[in-house]
Amino acid sequence: MRCFVYRFPFSGSLSLKSLKKGNIPQHVAIIMDGNGRWATRRKLPRSIGHQRGAEVLRETVVTCKDLGVKYLTAYSFSSENWQRPAEEVKDLMKLFIEVLQRELDGMIENDVKLNLIGQREIIPEKILRVFENAEEKTKFNKSLVFSIAFSYGSKQEIFDAVKKICIDYDRSEIDIETAKPEMLSGYLYTAGLPDPDLLIRTGGESRISNFLLWQIAYTELYFTDIMWPDFNRKNFFKAISSFQKRNRRFGRL
C-alpha cells in the first residue's frame, strides 16, 4: 500500500484553468464515505476499500498542498464506528498505525502538520501514542494543517466544551454576562482552527453524520455520489469549482 503523502514534490500538471486562484477555500473538511460499499460491490473484503481510501486521502493531501489549501480535516473514524464488527475495527486500527508510521517522514519533509481531533481518552493507548508522536514531530510545520477526526463525534465535542465552560465559570475564569458565542469555539477539539469553508461528502449520502456541527454553520456543502476510493484529483477540482461559483453571504445581503 502506498503512503498518505508523497515524499517528493508532485510532478504532474495541475488542471487549474477552470479554478480562480484567488478563491481557493482556506479550510476543506471531508466526510470520506463509501469505502466499505466500494469494496463490497467489487466482491472484495471491506479492508481493501479502507486501504484504497487511505491512498485517496494521501492524494488529497497532496492536492490540497498544491492548490494552497491551508487546512484539511478528514472524518476518518467516528465515535460510533467503535460499534462496528470487531474484526473490521481491528483491521482499521492496524491500517491507521501502519500508514501513520510510514508517512511520518513524508509529512515532515513536505511541511505538513498532523493534528488529531476526537475523544483521546477512549482511543487505545497503542494507536494514541502513534498519533501523538506524529503530532509532536510535525508541530512546527506550516504549509498544511492536516487534522484527522478520529474517535470523533460532534455532539460529544460540544458537550465536553460546555462542561469545560462550566468548570471555568465555577473557577471565576470566565464572565458569562459578557461571553459571546465565539467563546465556545475555543473549548472545542478544533480550537485554533478556522471554520471550514467547504465540506465535501462522498458516497451518495446527504447528511452531516455528527461531524463539525458547530463549525459548519456557514460552510458550503458539496455532496457527490462518487465513493471515496474513486474520488480522484479531478473530482476534487470539481468540488472546488462548485465552491467558487457560490455567493457566500454569511446571512448578509
Cα-based distances in Å from 83 to 24, 151, 250: 37, 11, 37
- Name residue 131's amino acid: F
Helix residue ranges per DSSP H, 114-232: 125-138, 154-170, 182-185
Positions in the chain short of pLDDT 50: 1-14
Query: 149 has which bridge partners?
Result: 75, 117
Tell me the C-alpha distance between 14 and 90, whole Å.
37
Q: Measuring CA to CA, which residue among 242, 228, 241 is closest to residue 59?
A: 228
> Rounded to the nearest 10 degrees, how much is the dihedral formed by the CA atoms of 207, 30, 100, 94?
20
- Name residue 15's amino acid: S
> What's the confidence (pLDDT) of residue 4?
39
Tell me the C-alpha distance between 188 and 44, whole Å.
38
Please give the backbone phi and psi of residue 71, each rounded to the nearest 5 degrees, phi first. Answer: -135, 130
- Name residue 162's amino acid: V
Which CATH code is given to the segment(s) 24-153+191-243? 3.40.1180.10
> What's the confidence (pLDDT) of residue 7?
33
pTM of the model: 0.90
Q: What's the longest Cα–Cα distance across the chain?
A: 59
User: How many residues are given for the chain?
Assistant: 253
Q: Measuring CA to CA, which residue among 234, 232, 231, 229 is closest to residue 38?
A: 229
Residue with the three cell numbers 462548485: 242
Tell me the C-alpha distance between 17 and 4, whole Å.
26
Tell me the C-alpha distance between 132 and 126, whole Å.
10
CB-CB contact of 242 with 26 (8 Å): no
> What's the confidence (pLDDT) of residue 250?
73
- Which positions are annotated as active-site residues? 33, 81
Q: Measuring CA to CA, which residue among 155, 131, 133, 190 is closest to residue 79?
A: 155
Q: Where are the chain's structural domains?
A: 24-153+191-243
Contacts 24+ apart (CB under 8 A), 212-215: 212/29, 212/73, 212/149, 212/154, 213/154, 213/155, 213/158, 214/154, 214/157, 214/158, 214/184, 214/185, 214/188, 215/29, 215/185, 215/188, 215/190
> What's the confidence (pLDDT) of residue 18?
63
CB-CB contact of 54 with 102 (8 Å): no
Tell me the C-alpha distance between 112 and 6, whole Å.
11
